[in-house]
Structure 1
Amino acid sequence: MKSNEAAVLIHASAVANGGVAFTLANTALGDTMLVTGLTLYMVRRLGKIYGVEDVAAKQIIGQCAAYYAGPYLTGKLLFWLPGVGNWANAATTVLLTETIGWTCVSLFSSGRKPEDLSDDEWSDILKTAKKKAEEEQQKNKILLQKMTSEEKKEIKTIAKKLKDESIPDEEKEKLLESLKAFYKDIKNR
């Protein structure tokens, strides 16, 4: 049950981040703050699913970003290419979000703490997470293509709200449920 709930959360977050990245691709790093806010929330929420109280979300995201800095920055640079940029930015963002999500599942389900891992252990976890994320990549590309511009705007609005640290957890849970509903609706088309 935990793995199913985690998968929906990861996919919904990845598709939402991809939608934001697609929409804001030509604004240099304009999507980064929204994407990071939603990703931090995803990591913390995955921790709750697996009963991890003290989630080192920034450390996990930092490790993933450092490990995949090359491909991520390449996707960011491609956004200037007409007709390619938005899709490159979205695809790169989706893959990174999925990788971060599956990294969390690996850590949290095994009870391992990020600060206790050696560089080699991090490398192994990240390689496994990236492989899982790549398996899911095609599904996410199809979902991104199914999204309407209105849905992308709505997801962007949800992402902005989830980024706001002052919003109570109860409100964040409602926003997360909205995000999951978007994901399921788009998936079922």
Structure 2
Amino acid sequence: MDSAACPIDTEDLSASVLVLTTALHERDAYTNVHCNRVCQLAQALGQRLGLNEKELAQLILAARFHDIGKIGIPDAVLLKPGRLDASEMAIMRSHPVRGERVFLATGRDDAAAVACIIRQHHEAWDGSGYPDGLAGEQITLPARILSVVDGYDAMVTDRPYRPGMPMDKALAILASEAGTRLDPRVTRCFMEQMGSSTES
């Protein structure tokens, strides 16, 4: 899956977003590859959950650009080869709001809807997420989908400060977070998609 391209027609994207994406890749190649994988996982899960064509297109764009706000995160935080302290984490947690602003600036017809998903992708089902502390269905379904697949890919991917974990372990963690951080129905559907028998 790592080598596959995200299913987006790049000719349909604002040139400014593509430039920013390239710039982010130059700073942090992990983020670019991660976003591609998340995009593919989100597309499959959105289809499984019955999103219509418009919703699915918005989800795919949001998944591809969900971390674009990291373009505004200082290198000392973004590229730190270790765990972040509390102040650094606060800076990192600003990336959904930064990403919302970036995507809104494209002026696309769907910019507001896509930017909303980007802003909400770290919200939690139980209200413990950020930046707005939304809970349950206050969080859009596409953002709840993105939260599950983003979390999964982050866990199974090697990072400078830790190796990626096995798929089964990552899915077990997602199952344990269903009903707290994650939407239980979305989590269950993702586990079915991944062929897991782990109960959620």
TM-score with structure 2 length normalisation? 0.34
Higher helix share goes to which structure? 1
